[in-house]
Amino acid sequence: MSAGQYGPAASLAADRRPADPAAWAYLLRCADGSLYAGWTNDLARRLRAHRSGQGGAKYTRSHGGAAVRLAYAERCAGKSEALRREAALKRLSKSEKEQLAAGWAARSALTLRMATPEDAPAVTELYNWYVTHGTQTFQYEPSTVEEYRQNIAGVLRAAPFLVACTAEGTLAGFACAHPWHTRRAFAWDVETTVYCDPGCVGQGVGRRLYTALLELLRRQGYMNAFALITRPNPQSEAFHRALGFTRYGVEKNSGYKFGRWLDLGYWALPLNPPADPPAPVRLRLEAEEAAQVLRRDAPAAEQRIL
């Protein structure tokens, strides 16, 4: 930047790191126990189509529709690989499919817990994937591990910083909350954030994290959760709508990244009824109360582990 200029050089389309287009081969467990094989480029949207009977498959419609659930998911490097894997899944015997489903369920069982500074390398790597490949965040430059170490410690002083880890110990996603504004009058408001590993999207990780995060914030006495969502980001918009947020505004052409102007959507979710005057926010919940919330949404098998 030369004297008299303001700000960084614009990020251009060529600055975006290329990523394989999202594609999945999957198995669904139907109401009668049978396993249906399919492929998709959007797991969450496809699951909804199967469950609603609109745009799903004839087989799932006639085998329990709304009750179908994900039994296996495999991220593939594009549509042709996903189609190949779908055909291979369809050729498997029932017991081979059951084996795959059992292995996937064991590997992807989630543990939710508060982050520690030792989580900073994994959290930084996950977040930086979106910084360098996508427009979900307006950030141009990758974060450093030290920045995230401080970020985790800073968040935990007044709000949860949650991580979801698989049984193999890898990070499936994280969710946290920051102060919405610094002035005292905003002390009851937070901005919430959630990012899942690209290999884990559409499998319920985000819902587990946000459900727990929002409940913890509610118990702490926060009034409002706000989320800032780049447009376009239909996945995050559908997700926030599903979790109860509503959009109350859009800033047009608010940011420029990877060679395009992007809008910014403002979303809100009231967490508690407005008490007058409000009690101060509890900066920390008792460890047992927080643990109860983190356990609450876990499937029965995981509740025993937690």
Ligand X SMILES: CC(C)(COP(=O)(O)OP(=O)(O)OC[C@H]1O[C@@H](n2cnc3c(N)ncnc32)[C@H](O)[C@@H]1OP(=O)(O)O)[C@@H](O)C(=O)NCCC(=O)NCCS
Size of the site for ligand X (CB under 6 A): 25
- Residue 196 interacts with ligand X (CB under 6 A): yes or no: yes
* Binding-site member from 38, 56, 160, 204 for ligand X (CB under 6 A): 204
Q: Which two tokens stand for residue 216?
A: 């913890």
User: Which letter does DSSP use for residue 42 in this model?
Assistant: -
CB of residue 22 vs ligand X: minimum separation in angstroms?
10
- Residue 264 interacts with ligand X (CB under 6 A): yes or no: no
* Binding-site member from 127, 180, 195, 245 for ligand X (CB under 6 A): 195
Q: Which residues pair with 173 in a beta bridge?
A: 164, 196
- Residue 42 interacts with ligand X (CB under 6 A): yes or no: yes
Could you tell me how far CA 287 lies from the centroid of its own chain?
24
Question: Among residues 168 and 289, whose Cβ is nearest to ligand X?
Answer: 168
Sheet bearing 189-196, strands edge to edge: 111-114, 161-165, 171-179, 189-196, 224-231, 260-270, 246-257
* Binding-site member from 212, 233, 293, 294 for ligand X (CB under 6 A): 233
Question: Among residues 44 and 89, whose Cβ is nearest to ligand X?
Answer: 44
As a whole number of angstroms, the distance between CA 5 and CA 168 comes to 49
As a whole number of angstroms, the distance between CA 59 and CA 73 comes to 18
- Residue 194 interacts with ligand X (CB under 6 A): yes or no: yes
230 touches 255 (CB < 8 A): yes
Question: Among residues 77 and 242, whose Cβ is nearest to ligand X?
Answer: 242
**Contact residues for ligand X, defined by CB under 6 A:** 42, 44-45, 47-48, 130, 136, 194-196, 201-207, 227, 229, 233, 235-236, 238-239, 242
